[in-house]
Amino acid sequence: MNVDAFSVGVSSSGINGISASGADATAANKAGGNGGTVNISSTHLPGMGSVTISSPITATTGKNGSNVTTGGNGGTVNVTSNGTVTVNSTVKVSDSATPRASKNEIGRAHV
């Protein structure tokens, strides 16, 4: 998404949270899906653009089946801006807690 300015949460003109989390497992012996990728950029106009995150952004592993301890890989969140980036809420890209524990590949957040 490329915009002049962007807000997650805060006002009626903002987006109320973003989820790119993997799908939940469909059976007890299945792993949850990999987290996805979220790209937010306000860099296409020089000297303009700020990003404010005031509602959660998630790109985590989907819920694992009851017989699986670790599942998919964590996701990625990329935020770029010519202006300021303000983070007032959670940006979650992987999980270590059951039942959404990611396997070896942890998620990444780039701001």
Could you identify the residue written with the tokens 């959404």? 100
- pLDDT: is 42 or 85 the higher one? 85
- Residue 10 is predicted with a pLDDT of 56
Give pTM, 2 decimals.
Answer: 0.81
Tokens of 109: 């957040």
- Residue 77 is predicted with a pLDDT of 93
Instruction: State the average pLDDT for the chain.
Output: 82
Residues in the chain: 111
Residue 34 has pLDDT above 80, yes or no: yes
Burial class (CB in 10 A: 0-12, 13-18, 19+), 40: buried
Closest to 75 in 3D by CA, of 44, 110, 99: 110
Calculate what percentage of the chain has a pLDDT beyond 90. 27
Number of neighbouring beta carbons within 10 Å of residue 60: 27
Q: What is the pLDDT of residues 49-78, one digit of tens each?
A: 788 888 899 999 889 999 998 888 889 999
